[in-house]
Amino acid sequence: MPISGDQLLAVLAALASPQRLRIIAALKSDGRNYVSQLAREVGISRPLLHLHLQKLEEAGLVTSQLELSGDGKALNYFEVADFDFELTPSAIVKAARSLAASSTRSQPMKGVHDV
């Protein structure tokens, strides 16, 4: 099933960060991991990692599962979701046709000011 326009925008936005690419690479290379360990591996703070993981999870690129450790601590484990997207001009045309009305309105670009 082809990806919808809104899904494509979410995926592209989620992947538009070097930190998020490193997170996906770490999870794919080392397998599922909990937040504290993953934060140490990618070299960022846990709060920042949580923000990145939330964006990746919303885009369907990672999944999470809350588990209890042997000593009763709650650990949130993340792993890479099984995704496969084809990004071609034809796929973009199909995705654009399915954009939600709120996605098709012109939005000012962030950081661009009138001169």
Q: What is the pLDDT of residues 3-28, one digit of tens each?
A: 889 999 999 999 999 999 999 999 99
Q: Which residue has the higher pLDDT, 49 or 69?
A: 49
Task: Enter the DSSP assignment of 98.
Answer: T
- Tell me the per-residue pLDDT of 78-110, one tens digit each, with 9 for 90 and over: 999 998 888 899 989 999 999 876 555 555 444
User: At residue 114, does pLDDT exceed 60?
Assistant: no
Task: Enter the DSSP assignment of 60.
Answer: T
- Tell me the per-residue pLDDT of 24-42, one tens digit each, with 9 for 90 and over: 999 999 999 999 999 999 9
Q: What is the number of other CB atoms lying within 10 angstroms of the CB of residue 70?
A: 5
Q: What is the number of other CB atoms lying within 10 angstroms of the CB of residue 11?
A: 20
